[in-house]
Structure formats: structure tokens, C-alpha cells
């Protein structure tokens, strides 16, 4: 155990080896996520956000700097990390329930088939997919498939959940539904999360902290702490406080893309990579545990 952040990325540099020589992607990445926290990462397309997720998952080892989880350097893939992506890859010949159970067949963690099935059913109910357990993926809408893929990512009770633009391919209304479902999931499941997103509203609705990355090679440019305002619904996004946070983030993205004047760049770029205390649950009392 450590007193520091659960996920601690410090001074990370990474270049991909390509036929044309090294392609520097990250150069000075600092991201700290408190135990139980949920950090959103935003930044221009191609700046290295998915690369960051691979580093946390242990699928890539940085050229320099450190990636630690629980104070331990990440040296390879682990079963305590769950991941979900923009395009959920569900196996068409398996039912939704069996898709959610798939990780149990790949990595054994001591969860029996019966325990896993109970947990999968409870997770599917939590995301509103009760009654769809025996359907095939093609019988579900895009939003429903994404919900099933979220359940699959959670089946092992991962300590770390990584969501790489999970709602990016959905229409605006479905996306907002998923945000609310995600809040429900966050109340009941004790993961520490990293959410990659293009959507600034999504970042302040779901996360307790938003990290803005600069353009490539990316470094941490700005960190916004989202105040805990207690129970929230979508109306929260239309408050003056939300408008102000969105304006700050938009400005920082413009700077990241090199669209803001240099003198403002110097004044506005104020990274603050030091982690705060663990974020408290945002929606009050938690009831109805998932097994």
C-alpha cells in the first residue's frame, strides 16, 4: 500500500520505432490519479492518449520516466486492469452473457463460473441490460453493445478501469444516457478510472479531474479539478460553473493545438500534477451492491 496516487505517471517519454525513425509521442507526461478517482484525459487527435492507456495497462513500457500503480512500477499486462474502447469488440457467436464472461476464461483469478455468472448478471442489470443476457451482439444497438463491453471490462473487479473514447461513436442522446449509466456504475464499483475523451462536457460530467495534453509530442499542459457538487444530473452541464470550466478547457485545447497566441500560452499553461486527496463519491449513499 502507498499513501500516494494509485496511478502515478511521472515524466514519461515514449517514441514509437517506425520505418522512418523514432516517432516521439509523449515527452513529459505527468498524470496522477488518486485511489478511487476518475481522471479524464483530453487532447488533440493523435497526441498520444491511447499510448497513455497502453502504458497504464502495461502493454508498453516507457523510454523514460515512470508508470506506477500502487507504488509498483508497471512492467507488463495485469489482470487487475479493465479496458473498454470506442468500438466494442464482442464475439458474434456468443451471447451477451457469455461475452461478459469471456475474461474469466482467459485469466483465472479464482472466481468460479457460478460467481462470475452472478456478477455478470448483476452488472448487466446495473447498466440496464436485464433481459438481454441471451441475445447476440448484432441484436443490440451500439449503445447497448458498449454497455455490455463495459460489463466485460468490469467482470474481474479491476482495480484500474481504462476507457478509451468509449462513447465517441454514439449519437448525442445515447451518449448522455451512457454518461448517467456510467455514474451509476461508478457509485457501485470501486475502480480507479482513466477516461480518454474528445468531449469536454463528458469530461466534466464524469471525472473529478481533467488533464489536458499538449499536441505531439504530448506533455501534461493543464489540470482542472472538477469540484464535487454532490448529486448531479445533465442539468448540471448548463450551470454557470460548468460553462466556466468548459471555457477554461476549450482555451487550453486551443493552446494545445497552437491556435492561441504565445504570450497567453505562457500565462495560461500552469500544470499542476500533484494529486489531491481521493475524490469522494459524487452521488451520495451507495445502495445495492454488485456481487
Binding site for ligand ADP (CB under 6 A): 16, 18, 23, 25, 45-51
Among Mg ion, ligand ADP, none, what does residue 77 contact (CB within 5–8 Å per kind)? none
Is residue 174 within the footprint of Mg ion (CB under 5 A)? no
DSSP letters spanning 46-111: TSSHHHHHHHHHTSS--SEEEEEETTEEP-S--TTEEEEESS----TTS-HHHHHHHHHHHS--S-
Binder among 11, 24, 36, 50 for Mg ion (CB under 5 A): 50
User: Residue 102 is placed in which grid cell?
Assistant: 469471456
Least CB distance from residue 272 to ligand ADP, whole Å? 21
* Residue 49 or 152 with smaller CB distance to Mg ion: 49
If the CB atoms of residues 99 and 149 are measured against ligand ADP, the closer one turns out to be 149
Beta carbon of residue 98, minimum distance to Mg ion (angstroms, whole number): 28
Helix/strand/coil for 42: strand
Q: How far is the CB of 50 from Mg ion (least distance, A)?
A: 3
Report phi then psi at 288, rounded to 5. 65, 75
Residues 6+ apart with CB under 8 A from 19: none
Cβ-count burial of 277 within 10 angstroms (0-12 exposed, 13-18 middle, 19+ buried)? Answer: exposed
Quote the DSSP letter at residue 218: B
CA nearest to 149, candidates 163, 159, 160: 163
Least separation, in Å, of the C-beta of 203 and Mg ion?
15
Q: How far is the CB of 47 from Mg ion (least distance, A)?
A: 9
Q: How far apart are the C-alpha atoms of 34 and 54, rounded to whole Å?
A: 19
Q: How far is the CB of 46 from ligand ADP (least distance, A)?
A: 4
Within 13 Å of residue 71, how many CA atoms lie on the same side as its CB? 4
Only one of the segments 32-40, 47-55, 64-72, 113-121 lies at the binding site for Mg ion (rule: CB under 5 A); that segment is 47-55
Residue 53 or 221: the one with the smaller Cβ distance to Mg ion is 53
- Residue 117 engages Mg ion in binding (rule: CB under 5 A): no
The count of residues interacting with Mg ion (CB under 5 A) is 2
Instruction: Please identify, using beta-carbon distances, which residue of 48 and 82 lies nearer to Mg ion.
Output: 48
* Interface contacts to Mg ion, rule CB under 5 A: 49-50
Amino acid at each position: 500500500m502507498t499513501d500516494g496516487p494509485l496511478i502515478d505517471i511521472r515524466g514519461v517519454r515514449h517514441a514509437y520505432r517506425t520505418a522512418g525513425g523514432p516517432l516521439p509521442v509523449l515527452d513529459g507526461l505527468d498524470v496522477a490519479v488518486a485511489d478511487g478517482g476518475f481522471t479524464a484525459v483530453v487532447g488533440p487527435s493523435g497526441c498520444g492518449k491511447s499510448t497513455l492507456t497502453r502504458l497504464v495497462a502495461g502493454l508498453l513500457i516507457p523510454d523514460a520516466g515512470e508508470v506506477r500503480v500502487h507504488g509498483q512500477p508497471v512492467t507488463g499486462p495485469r489482470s487487475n486492469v479493465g479496458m473498454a474502447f470506442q468500438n466494442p469488440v464482442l464475439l458474434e457467436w456468443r451471447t451477451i452473457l457469455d461475452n461478459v464472461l469471456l475474461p474469466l476464461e482467459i485469466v483465472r483469478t479464482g472466481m468460479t463460473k457460478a460467481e462470475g455468472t452472478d456478477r455478470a448478471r448483476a452488472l448487466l442489470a446495473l447498466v440496464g441490460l436485464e433481459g438481454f443476457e441471451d441475445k447476440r451482439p448484432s441484436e443490440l444497438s451500439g449503445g447497448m453493445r458498449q454497455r455490455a463491453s463495459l460489463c466485460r471490462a468490469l467482470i474481474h473487479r479491476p482495480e484500474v478501469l481504462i476507457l478509451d473514447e468509449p462513447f465517441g461513436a454514439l449519437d448525442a442522446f445515447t451518449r448522455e444516457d451512457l454518461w448517467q449509466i456510467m455514474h451509476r456504475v461508478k457509485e457501485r464499483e470501486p475502480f480507479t478510472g482513466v477516461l480518454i475523451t474528445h468531449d469536454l462536457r463528458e469530461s466534466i460530467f464524469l471525472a473529478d479531474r481533467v488533464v489536458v495534453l499538449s499536441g505531439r509530442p504530448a506533455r501534461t499542459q493543464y489540470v482542472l479539478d472538477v469540484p464535487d457538487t454532490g448529486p448531479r444530473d445533465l442539468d448540471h452541464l448548463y450551470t454557470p460553473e460548468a460553462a466556466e470550466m468548459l471555457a477554461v478547457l476549450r482555451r487550453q485545447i486551443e493552446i494545445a493545438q497552437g491556435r492561441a497566441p504565445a504570450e497567453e500560452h505562457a500565462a495560461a499553461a500552469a500544470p499542476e500534477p500533484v494529486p489531491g486527496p481521493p475524490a469522494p463519491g459524487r452521488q451520495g449513499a451507495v445502495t445495492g451492491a454488485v456481487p
